[in-house]
């Protein structure tokens, strides 16, 4: 990490977060049985991105994948003419996507250990969300790898 090694772990972690991140995969695990929940609409490959700003705001958008789940992504919907498609098609978009935005903060950040980067807790509050139940606080644990080129977010439900 070069000059970043002299910075506090929290500053290094913030620098790692800042920017836009695409999703590679999503795995929902039942914490009681430790089994992968394959019925999750975003499994195994969601589409979307998360954005983190240097001044502490985040936005995310997750949708079902056009390639792996085309049944959940109706084609031909025209936002300028909503009546051109049945409500059942529009409902799929709402059911199989989520977006949210709000401030975030990092805590309990520790420095890198070998090839691993900083790790800690990312928490905050969604001020807006497509799903009203997602308004309010959120908390993820994070861990960066490969000089902050790869990361893992984990959230318990």
140 beta partners: 122
- Asked, for residue 10, whether it belongs to a domain, the answer is yes
Angle, CA 47 vertex, CA 42 and CA 20 arms, to 5° = 125
pTM for the whole structure: 0.81
In a domain, 39, yes or no: yes
Q: Please compute the mean of the pLDDT values over residues 135-149 and round it to a whole number.
A: 91
What is the rounded average pLDDT for all residues in the chain? 87
Q: Is residue 54 part of a domain?
A: yes
> What's the number of domains the chain is made of?
1
Tell me: cis bond preceding 44? Omega within 30 of 0 counts.
yes
pLDDT band at 31 (very low <50, low <70, confident <90, very high): confident
Sign of CA dihedral 56, 132, 47, 36: positive
Cβ atoms of residues 10 and 106 within 8 Å: yes
Q: What is the pLDDT of residue 108?
A: 96
Check pLDDT > 60 for residue 1. Answer: no
| CA-to-CA separations, 133 to 3, 88, 147, in angstroms, rounded | 42, 22, 35
Tell me the helix, strand and coil percentages in the chain, rounded to 5: 20, 40, 40
Give Rg (Cα) of the chain: 18
Judged on CB neighbours under 10 Å (0-12, 13-18, 19+), 128 is exposed
Per-residue pLDDT for 113 more than 70? no
Summarised one tens digit per residue, pLDDT across range 32-70 is 888 877 777 676 678 889 999 999 999 999 998 888 888
77 domain residue, yes or no: no
Domain that holds residue 144: 2-70+89-154
Q: What is the pLDDT of residue 127?
A: 97
């Amino acid at each position: 990490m070069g000059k970043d090694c002299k910075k506090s772990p929290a500053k290094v972690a913030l620098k790692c977060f800042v920017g836009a991140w695409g999703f590679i995969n999503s795995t929902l695990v039942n914490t009681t049985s430790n089994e992968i929940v394959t019925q999750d609409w975003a499994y195994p490959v969601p589409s979307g991105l998360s954005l983190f700003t240097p001044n502490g705001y985040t936005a995310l958008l997750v949708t079902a994948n056009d390639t792996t789940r085309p049944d959940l992504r109706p084609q031909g919907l025209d936002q300028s003419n909503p009546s051109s498609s049945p409500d059942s098609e529009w409902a799929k978009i709402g059911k199989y996507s989520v977006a949210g935005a709000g401030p975030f903060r990092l805590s309990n950040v520790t420095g890198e250990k070998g090839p691993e980067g900083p790790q800690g807790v990312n928490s905050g509050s969604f001020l807006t969300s497509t799903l009203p139940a997602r308004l309010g606080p959120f908390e993820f644990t994070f861990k960066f790898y490969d000089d902050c080129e790869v990361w893992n977010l984990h959230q318990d439900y």
